[in-house]
Amino acid sequence: MKRFILTFALLLGFAYVASADERPIELSQMPKAAQTFIANNFAGKALLYANVDREILDTDYEVRLEDGTQIEFNGSGQWTKISNKRVGVPQSVIPANIVQYAQKSYPEATILSIERDTRNYEVKLSNGLELVFTLDGKLIGYDD
């Protein structure tokens, strides 16, 4: 029985790895929400590449722009992570209360990345701090 379970687990693991399909795509092949987000917030920035990563349970998209911005989207086209280590993330895509907190508390720092999930935002600053906010923008913790 143990051998059967081990064999089944290995086969399942191999099937998962084999099912991952990351490949380049055109921007027009991304969900409309992602296309609109890029057009509204990064107009004039040339696209270096766009990838789709299809897995068994989900699909993710990744975009890289000429200015160094990287954007990750979920399968429905909602952004999950935005980063730019050169010039920072545009304030227009960050919730206003998070921008205000960062400017007031760390005026010398730039927001290099913002990541969101179903519970919170994680913001990385140029001074090395990582701030964690609720979805409504209240600071709930630090991580360095």
CATH number for position 100: 3.40.1420.30
| Domain finish residue from 81, 109, 128 | 81
Tens digit of pLDDT for each residue in 55-106? 888 999 999 999 999 999 999 999 999 999 999 999 999 999 999 999 999 9
What 3-state DSSP class applies to 35? Answer: helix
pLDDT above 90 covers a percentage of the chain that reads 81
Q: With respect to residue 87, please indicate whether it lies within any of the assigned structural domains.
A: no
Report the domain count for the chain: 2
Q: With respect to residue 98, please indicate whether it lies within any of the assigned structural domains.
A: yes
What 3-state DSSP class applies to 91? Answer: helix
The domain in which residue 112 lies consists of 94-144
Tens digit of pLDDT for each residue in 22-32? 899 999 999 99
Q: With respect to residue 113, please indicate whether it lies within any of the assigned structural domains.
A: yes
**pLDDT at 19 exceeding the cut of 90:** no
Distance from C-alpha of 127 to C-alpha of 89, rounded to nearest angstrom = 14
Q: Which residues pair with 121 in a beta bridge?
A: 116, 133
Q: With respect to residue 59, please indicate whether it lies within any of the assigned structural domains.
A: yes
Q: Report CA dihedral (110, 115, 120, 122) to the nearest 10 degrees.
A: -40
Question: Residue type at 80?
Answer: T
